[in-house]
Amino acid sequence: MKLVGIAGSVADKSYNRMLLKYIASHFSDQVDIELLDINDVPLFNQSDDQTNGDAVQYLNHKIMAADGVIIATPEHNHTITASLKSVIEWLSFNIHPLSGKPVMIVGASYYDQGSSRAQLNLRQILESPGVDAIVMPGNEFLLGDVKEAFDDNQNLKDDRTVSFLKETLTKFMKFVKVINTMNKPEDPGWEAEDLEAKGKVETTVEGVDMHAADWVEKAAEKTHAAEGDDYVKLDRGLLTVNQLNYFLNSMPIELTYADANNQFIYYNHFLEAKDMLASRTPGQAGNPMADCHPKRAIPHVKQVIHMLRSGQTDMFRLPVPGMGPDKYVMHYYKAMHDAQGEYKGINELVLDIMPMIQYYLKHTGQMLVKDPDADTDAVSGASTNVKPEKTDAVSGASSDAEPEKPTVDEVSGASADAEPAPKPTKPDVDEVSGASSNS
């Protein structure tokens, strides 16, 4: 857990800063606490907006990245200091990093009450509209007689004080987890898709490097896999392994299997990579899905796999333009399930449907006519200005497409530039994994 600590003082010697340093060092085995300095933050002035200044943005970025905040406040005239009030003003003027952020208040003072009135004042400010911090209720840590509280090594002397501080911090860490769980988006599922295939399903072959070019051979040896003339009993058939290969490699379509662990484990290898509609090489078999895409395309891959896994859709269809006037290549992504309906991975089918279209036209005496009222393909987002003269040899995506549409990942067809949509309804998908090509 990552927390940040802010001392509400700019004094050269600050006991509240000393308290935060003690918390950060003494409890470092439980939580990571980074102390933030407010000395350079200017006095708040609405007429001279310093929101984008280095000092304010430094605090903004650190708070936004943290799981929670600890603020140690002195007490000046029964309230917080002018410097701390000014900081909070900047952090609630045009930016709001404290909104929804779990906050714990502590404080130290020279007197017995230990900044109790300042803490109450700070709580009211933090919970006000525009700041909207989530302050932990109760569990106030009030360090009185602070001049006598620390030894020469700046450690708290009293064991009971240390014990209570530990108890309060432990409760705050639990509070942070609860609040941040509540603040999570309703559907973050696609972000959790593990394209590195670090998990395990019942068919995962352990102890073999996924990135190895000879993964198939090593995994087959480890599992004593059937091969050659060994028989395999299927749902409605009995075939040898050789017969299965003959059967799958004779399919007039390219097939790819990615399992439920997001590992690319099979393709029907009946053509060399240079002759395929969606290029594959033997050494890719066994790779995690993350290896099949550039980093910029990963969010789109996750989105689509999650939608197939969660049942939001059962199949995606994607035409890939730019392969020439005599080809119309389609990619289909079909979710696979067992007899109990459990998700078992993705079956990708790639084929050129133009021969079927031409056969149909020839034998029915019909012809294709352009619809003058038709818009660009709403499914694939293919540009109507794509030039067919020069095509990507891997995915078939046009390399001369007009810039109105995002560039296409040459391995998967995924958009290399588009930002991921937070809640896609029906994104277009790439040819390897189903990554959105224009989300």
Q: What is the CATH number of the domain that holds 135?
A: 3.40.50.360
Tally of domains within the chain: 2
User: What pTM was computed for the model?
Assistant: 0.47
Please report the pLDDT score of residue 426 as a whole number. Answer: 44
Distance CA 184, CA 65 (A): 14
* % of the chain at pLDDT higher than 90: 55
What is the 3 state secondary structure string of the chain? Answer: CEEEEEECCCCCCCHHHHHHHHHHHHCCCCCEEEEECCCCCCCCCCCCCCCCCHHHHHHHHHHHHCCEEEEECCCECCECCHHHHHHHHHCCCCCCCCCCCEEEEEEECCCCCCCHHHHHHHHHHHCCCCCCCEECCCCCEEECCHHHCECCCCCECCHHHHHHHHHHHHHHHHHHHHHHHHHCCCCCHHHHCCCCCCCCCCCCCCCCCCCCCCHHHHHHHHHCCCCCCCEEEECCEEEEHHHHHHHHHCCCCEEEEEECCCEEEEECCCCCHHHCCCCCCHHHCCCEHHHHCCHHHHHHHHHHHHHHHHCCCCEEEEEECCCCCCCCEEEEEEEEECCCCCEEEEEEEEEECHHHHHHHHHHHCCCCCCCCCCCCCCCCCCCCCCCCCCECCCCCCECCCCCCCCCECCCCCCECCCCCCCCCCCCCCCCCCCCCCCC
pLDDT digits (tens, 9 = 90+) for 397-410: 333 333 333 333 43
Distance CA 349, CA 256 (A): 7
Which of 12-16, 341-345, 428-432: highest mean pLDDT?
341-345
Asked if the model's pLDDT at residue 187 lies above 70, the reply is no
Domain end: 138, 153, 183, which one? 183
Domain end: 183, 213, 240, which one? 183
Residues 228 and 157 in one domain: no
Residues 354 and 405 in one domain: yes
Residues 136 and 200 in one domain: no
Distance CA 413, CA 259 (A): 20
Asked if the model's pLDDT at residue 60 lies above 50, the reply is yes
Residues 291 and 170 in one domain: no
329, 351 in Cβ contact below 8 A? yes
Locus of tokens 């857990």 = 1
Q: Of 65-74, 105-114, 240-249, 279-288, which gets the smallest average pLDDT? A: 105-114
Asked if the model's pLDDT at residue 265 lies above 60, the reply is yes
Residues 354 and 418 in one domain: yes
Q: How many CA atoms lie within 13 A of 43 on its CB side?
A: 2
Q: Which residues of 8-32 are buried (b: 16+ CB within 10 A; e: fewer)?
A: bbbeeebbbbbbbbbbbeebeeebe
Which pLDDT band holds residue 216 (cuts at 50, 70, 90)?
Answer: very high
Residues 158 and 214 in one domain: no
**Residue 336 to residues 66, 188, 257, 260, Cα–Cα distance (Å):** 40, 23, 9, 9
Mean pLDDT in the chain?
Answer: 83
Please report the pLDDT score of residue 13 as a whole number. Answer: 86
Domain end: 183, 216, 239, which one? 183
Residues 47 and 137 in one domain: yes
Q: Give the CATH number for residue 362.
A: 3.30.450.20
Please report the pLDDT score of residue 375 as a whole number. Answer: 65
Q: How many CA atoms lie within 13 A of 235 on its CB side?
A: 2
130, 96 in Cβ contact below 8 A? yes
Which pLDDT band holds residue 376 (cuts at 50, 70, 90)?
Answer: low
Which pLDDT band holds residue 142 (cuts at 50, 70, 90)?
Answer: confident
Residue 248's CB is within 10 A of a number of other CB atoms, namely 14
Residues 271 and 382 in one domain: yes
**Residue 120 to residues 79, 84, 126, 318, Cα–Cα distance (Å):** 8, 14, 10, 59
pLDDT digits (tens, 9 = 90+) for 282-322: 999 999 999 987 788 888 889 889 989 999 999 988 888 77
Distance CA 172, CA 169 (A): 5
The parent domain of residue 173 ranges over: 2-183
Asked if the model's pLDDT at residue 199 lies above 80, the reply is yes
Please report the pLDDT score of residue 397 as a whole number. Answer: 33
Residues 158 and 195 in one domain: no
Residues 246 and 125 in one domain: no
56, 41 in Cβ contact below 8 A? yes
Residue 156's CB is within 10 A of a number of other CB atoms, namely 19
The whole-number average pLDDT for the span 204-212 is: 92
7, 14 in Cβ contact below 8 A? yes
Q: Which amino acid is at 178?
A: V
Which pLDDT band holds residue 414 (cuts at 50, 70, 90)?
Answer: very low
94, 126 in Cβ contact below 8 A? no
Residues 158 and 212 in one domain: no
Asked if the model's pLDDT at residue 93 lies above 90, the reply is yes
Please report the pLDDT score of residue 220 as a whole number. Answer: 94
Distance CA 177, CA 112 (A): 33
The whole-number average pLDDT for the span 343-370 is: 93
Residues 243 and 167 in one domain: no
The whole-number average pLDDT for the span 233-249 is: 95
Give the pairing type, strands 264-267 and 254-259.
antiparallel
Please report the pLDDT score of residue 409 as a whole number. Answer: 40
**Residue 284 to residues 25, 265, 278, 347, 431, Cα–Cα distance (Å):** 48, 8, 13, 16, 15
Asked if the model's pLDDT at residue 171 lies above 60, the reply is yes
